Amino acid sequence: MNARRKKPQQLKWAIVLFGFMALSMAFSTRAALSLMMPVWQSELGWSASFVSSVGAAALIVMAIIAPVAGRLLDRKGPRFTLSLGLGAVTTSCFLIASTSSKLVFAIAFGGIGAIGFGIVAVHVVSSAVIYSFDKHQGLATGIASSGSTGGQFLVVPLLAGLLTFASWRWSFTGLGIVCLALLPCILYFMPRGIIRNGDAAAATTEAVSVGQEIRFMLGKPAFHILFWSFLICGFTTAGVIETHFLPFAAYCGFSPIPSATAYGVLSAVNLCGMILAGWLTDRINRPLLLAAIYLLRALSFVLLANVPGAGIETLFLFVVFFGLVDYATVPVTASLMASEVGINVLGLGMGLVAAGHALGGAMGAAFGGYVFSSSGNYGLVWTSSLWLAVGAGLMVLALIKSPTKGADARPS
């Protein structure tokens, strides 16, 4: 029985289930870089600068690949797109596990792996889900895309266990084996094309150029609002928090174990926040919801700025508060992209805003490092993030009056 003969409901939930699992493995492989860095320094003599540079190169490749992956989803559907990306991640894991060469590692993680990470990405999975669901769209998107943080919460501790009781090579081998085992599941259960109106449609073959699609989106004010707000989202999450949270905790005088525990709690709350945001996306005004998420994120930076001199309890209070609104923008942004910009260009549109998110993250990481090096504290980083989040919240309020008529129009 192939994917075309399966019931549409089975196909829909297969995208949610295996999208969650694919994201878990891709994000866990990415997270393994920082986990293995001290071991590589002592065992292979690789400097932190070298490993970090490979990680930075991977982020650049991912930003470039993101729109390509989105358009690939629009043209070929989730089965082809996710299996291609997961195949690249699998190859990367096995190559890393088998090498001691800097060059091979750089190609495996910063090249092949980065291509896989750019394809097995939140914007691809969330777009595939939105294509598939007419009802409970937000909830399904929240569940599927929460694999991005669920992987860090569930899989990374297992990697740490393999690292402790075996070796880093076995950790990457384990990742590769699981990714390889997941591939036939995606190939068997996922539809060949996009599910629309309850049917598994064939892959799109209309002769519309990517230039036409981009011009179509650039002509819509809603796309610009979603792009720039998501760039700010990247600055205030992947940029300043994911990069500088642990250094900031050390600056505040907290030891590594409670600091790392707090970061783990952040990942767990992220998962809950994404599912909750997805559930709310189906039930309340979406621009108001997205604006509220950004404004609550701004308030969380007020709390973070008061952590120095306070107890560890304040740090944990921040991670719970921030975790609820960290990745929560994803299901709301994807839903608004579909309705306000166009369902027919959803993959490419989300790919472009994902690239903006990556760019914002790079800017936030660099800005945080520059400010701390210059001033010796993170005060300006948190203040800037606060006002940027307020700006993003005010920006998306403009979508309340944005017309949705014609959002299903095709570029020409």
Residue whose C-alpha is closest to residue 238's, from 286, 270, 273? 270
Give the tokens for residue 386. 């606060």
Place of tokens 């490419």: 348
Euclidean distance between CA atoms 327 and 332, whole angstroms: 10
CB 360 within 8 A of CB 235: yes
Mean pLDDT over residues 43-68, rounded? 83
The mean of the pLDDT values for the chain is: 84
pLDDT digits (tens, 9 = 90+) for 149-160: 876 667 767 777
Res 62: pLDDT: 87
Beta-carbon contacts of 134 under 8 Å, excluding residues fewer than 6 positions away, are 197, 198
Euclidean distance between CA atoms 323 and 318, whole angstroms: 8
pLDDT digits (tens, 9 = 90+) for 119-130: 998 889 988 898
The domain made up of 211-400 is a member of CATH 3.40.630.30: no
CB 236 within 8 A of CB 393: no
Res 299: pLDDT: 95
Residues in a beta bridge with 195? 200
Of residues 313 and 227, the one with the higher pLDDT is 227
- Mean pLDDT: which of 12-21, 112-121, 162-171, 302-311 is highest? 112-121
pLDDT at 5 over 60: no
pTM greater than the 0.75 cutoff: yes
Beta-carbon contacts of 101 under 8 Å, excluding residues fewer than 6 positions away, are none
Euclidean distance between CA atoms 366 and 382, whole angstroms: 14
> What CATH number matches the domain at 3-199, 1.20.1250.20, 3.20.20.70, 1.10.3720.10, 3.40.50.300?
1.20.1250.20
Res 6: pLDDT: 53
pLDDT digits (tens, 9 = 90+) for 287-330: 999 999 999 999 999 999 988 878 888 999 999 999 999 889 99
pLDDT at 146 over 90: no
Euclidean distance between CA atoms 366 and 362, whole angstroms: 6
When pLDDT is cut at 50, 70 and 90, the band that residue 10 belongs to is low
364-369 long-range CB contacts below 8 Å, 24 or more apart?
A: 364/234, 364/235, 364/236, 364/237, 364/238, 364/239, 364/240, 364/243, 365/238, 365/239, 365/240, 365/243, 365/244, 367/235, 367/239, 367/240, 368/239, 368/240, 368/243, 368/244, 369/243, 369/244
When pLDDT is cut at 50, 70 and 90, the band that residue 406 belongs to is very low
Mean pLDDT over residues 12-24, rounded? 88
Res 77: pLDDT: 85
CB 56 within 8 A of CB 180: no
189-198, 252-261, 309-318, 400-409: range with lowest mean pLDDT: 400-409
Residues of CATH 1.20.1250.20 domain(s) within the chain? 3-199, 211-400
Give the tokens for residue 11. 């196909």
- Mean pLDDT: which of 124-138, 185-199, 209-223, 323-337 is highest? 323-337
pLDDT at 194 over 80: no
Size of the chain, expressed as the number of residues it contains: 412
60-69, 245-254, 387-396: range with lowest mean pLDDT: 245-254
Crossing angle for the helix pair 256-281 and 241-251, to the nearest 10 degrees: 140
Alpha-carbon dihedral sign for residues 34, 39, 41, 46: negative
